[in-house]
Amino acid sequence: MRPGKLARTLLRLLAALAVLAAFVVLDWYPAVKELGRMRRDRSDLQRRLKDYGAMASGFVFPDREEKALFARGRAELRRALLPVDDDSAWIAIALLDLQAQSRKDRLPRVRFMVSGQAWAPELGTAGPARPDPLAAWLGNRQSAGIQEGCRIASDPGRFPWQAIVAGLEMRPGRRLASRPLAVALEAPLAALLDFVNHVSWGAARLEIVRLHLEARAPVPRAWLVLRGYYLVRGPSPWAVPEGAGSDDGLRVDPDSPLLWQRIDPSLFCEGGKRELPAGIP
């Protein structure tokens, strides 16, 4: 072979290899890479489809009865949050609740406080003409504890119902508000404990934030800091800031068997209200 011809042949071979390399690098390699990714995507989708089918076949979907239960639950939630025009209206409702309960439980002495101050003495048992032995006790050692309880109750960082508020369909112009109030009482232990048990049964649905009891006194004495929730129209200093608190205490495991079964309708009727058993010394 002549040297010139050999050189030309080599040159053509190199040119052909360069074209081949260009195809491989610029087109074939990315295409093969993408084909591999697409194959994985397709297998992943097929697996998800299969898993979903298997999961759905073991899942009990809500029937008409359960959907009605959801609707009743939402309605009850809306009813539980009293709609009021302002904060004072709610305080009045809550205090009347407490007064009615204290009469029902026959408490000999009771005193209501809002923001740590005596409030509406005519609702309690201490009137202008009657001495109030609870006043001295409260003013002496207890006021710091009550103030601290009220501070805890109104701290937005400790608001525990974030998950509920997030799922709530609020009426326009209404905001969720939360306000603490306190009640002090002196009564035989049985009556005192009945009142503690019944304190949340009223329309204001008060939660106990702190309880302090001194049972050694001739007649047991206690104070409770309570908190309630309501829907207030317009701005309120007691409105729960958006996103306040956390839902840590209310997390439901998405894999919990509780979510796979139909809800037992008897749960709806429990209400949580129970009388104390007899047997108080």
Partner 1 sequence: MRERAGLRAIGGGRRRWPLWPVFFTLVLAAVSLLLHAEKSRRREEIRQAKEQLAAVVRARPVAGAKSQRAMFHKARFFLDYPAAASFGVADFIRRLAVVFRPREILDLRIDPGLHGFDFQLSVAIAREAPVTMPWQFAARLEELRNFPEIARLTYTEKAPADTSPGEIPRSRGGRDWVFFITGQAELQ
Residue numbers 242-271 binding partner 1 by CB under 8 A: 249-250, 252, 254, 258-260, 263, 267-268, 270-271
- x/- mask, partner 1, residues 205-234, rule CB under 8 A, reads xxxxxxxxxxxx---x--------------
What is the spatial distance between Cα 120 and Cα 92, in angstroms, rounded to a whole number?
9
Give the amino acid at 179.
Answer: R
- Specify whether the backbone of 66 is left (phi greater than 0), alpha (psi in -120 to 50) or beta: alpha
Q: Give Cα separations from 247 to 11, 44, 164, 180, 267 (angstroms).
A: 74, 33, 8, 20, 22
Among 11-19, 104-112, 117-125, 128-136, which window interacts with partner 1 (CB under 8 A)?
Answer: 11-19
Nearer to partner 1, 28 or 130 (CB): 28
DSSP string, 213-237: EE-SSSS-EEEEEEEEEEEEES--T
How many residues lie near partner 1 (CB under 8 A)? 85
- Phi, psi (degrees; rounded to nearest 5) at 110: -150, 150
Nearer to partner 1, 109 or 210 (CB): 210
Applying CB under 8 A, does 196 fall inside the site for partner 1?
yes
Residues 90-129 touching partner 1, rule: CB under 8 A, are: none
Candidates 10, 25, 45, 68: give the one binding partner 1 (CB under 8 A). Answer: 45
